[in-house]
Chains A and B, each alone.
Chain A
Amino acid sequence: MGVITPTLTLTSKAAGSSPASDAGPLSFAFQLSATDTLSIDQVATKIIDVDGTHEVLWDASDYITTSAAGSKGGFVYVKNITAEGSGRNIMIGTANSGLSDEVDLTATVDAERLFTLQPGEFAFFPWDMTFDLYEDANGSTSNALETWLFVRTGTN
C-alpha cells in the first residue's frame, strides 16, 4: 500500500491576448488547480503499439471478480505519445467488439467509444473495472500509447 499525489492544473489566457496563438476561450485569464492523495496498492504500466484493430488495454478480470463502487477500481493515466502532427489518433473505449467500426466512422454509433486522444493529449480518470478498457487507432504506430494503472487499496 502506498500513496500517490495527482495534481492537475488547467490554465488559459484571456481571450484577445497577444499573440493570438495564446488566446484563451474566456474573457479573463483562468486557472484551476486540483490535487489529492490516493491510497494505492498496485501499479502497472506499459507502452503499447497501436493499429486499426481494437485490443484490450486493461482487463478488469485481472484485478477483480466483482465490482464495488468506491472500494474497487483504480486510476488510469493514458497519453498518446506519437509525434505531434503525425495524425495518429488513439481511441479509448469500453467495447468488446465494434470499436473499430466507430473509429472508422460507420453509421453505427453507440456508447462504446469514450474518447479520442490526438498526439500529445492525455487523460487521468478513475476506472471502476465494471468493463474492460479497449484501445483502437486510425492506423499503425509502434510505441504509441503510454498507460499507467494505479489500483485502489482494497481492490484485490
Chain B
Amino acid sequence: MAKYITPALTLTSNSHDATTNPGPTSSPLNISVSDLIDVTEVRSFVIDVSTTNVQLIDASEIASSVAAGTDGGFLYLRNLTEGLATTADIYIGHGTDGALEGTTTTRLMTLKPGEFSFFGYDLEADLIVDASASVVGALEAMYFVRTGTA
C-alpha cells in the first residue's frame, strides 16, 4: 500500500532596498513548491559529531541495487547546533570515508548552525559526516526510502 509524505519548500526574500532583511535581487522572490512522495520506510536519527569523519548512511544497508528513479529516497538534514555553547559546521560527503573539511571532491556540502537541506539520495555511495568541532546531538537526519527500493 502506498504511503505518502508531502514536502513543501518556500524560498522568499525582500527586494534589495528593503529596510529590514534586504534581499539579493531588485524584486522580491517567492518560490513555492510541494510534492507527494510515495515512501516505504523512514529512518530518523540525531547524532553527535566530531572532527573525526564517520559513516552517516551505509547505502548497502538500504538497497542492493541503484536503479535511477526506482531505488533511493529523500534525505532531510539539519544542523542542530545553532544557539548551543559549542557550535559546529557539519560537512556531508558522498563516497568513501575521509576527512571532509579540506579540499576534497567527496564533500558535497557544509551545513552551518541552523542550516538544513532536503535532497534526493540514490544510494550509489555511502554518506559521510564530519564536523569542525565535537557536539552532542548535533545533526538530525531523516531518510525517506522510495517505495520500490530493493
Name the residue on A nearest B100 (C-beta).
A69
Q: B3 to chain A: closest CB distance in Å?
A: 4
Report the separation of the CA atoms of residues A128 and B33 in the bound assembly, to the nearest whole angstrom: 24
Q: Using Cβ atoms and an 8 Å threshold, which residues of chain B touch A94?
A: 94, 105, 108
Query: Which residues of chain A (93-125) have a CB below 8 Å from chain B?
Result: 94, 102-103, 105, 109-118, 120-125
Q: Using Cβ atoms and an 8 Å threshold, which residues of chain B touch A66?
A: 103
B124 and A124 form a contact (CB under 8 A):
no
Judge if A53 is at the interface, Cβ distance under 8 Å.
no
Chain B: interface residue total (CB-CB under 8 A): 68
Judge if A63 is at the interface, Cβ distance under 8 Å.
no
B6 and A12 form a contact (CB under 8 A):
yes
Query: Which residues of chain B (54-74) have a CB below 8 Å from chain A?
Result: 66-69, 72, 74
Q: Using Cβ atoms and an 8 Å threshold, which residues of chain B touch A22?
A: 4
Chain A CB within 10 Å, residue with most, of B11, B22, B40: B11
Judge if A91 is at the interface, Cβ distance under 8 Å.
yes
A89 and B68 form a contact (CB under 8 A):
yes
Question: Which of B13, B42, B106, B144 contacts A4, CB < 8 Å?
Answer: B13
A34 and B100 form a contact (CB under 8 A):
no
A92 and B109 form a contact (CB under 8 A):
no
Name the residue on A nearest B101 (C-beta).
A69
Name the residue on A nearest B37 (C-beta).
A121
B12 and A15 form a contact (CB under 8 A):
no
Q: A29 to chain B: closest CB distance in Å?
A: 11
A6 and B107 form a contact (CB under 8 A):
no
Judge if B10 is at the interface, Cβ distance under 8 Å.
yes
Judge if B45 is at the interface, Cβ distance under 8 Å.
no
* 18 A–B contacts from the bound complex (CB under 8 Å): A2-B24, A5-B13, A8-B118, A9-B8, A11-B8, A20-B2, A25-B42, A69-B102, A89-B68, A89-B69, A109-B124, A114-B122, A116-B72, A122-B33, A125-B119, A127-B108, A130-B104, A150-B11
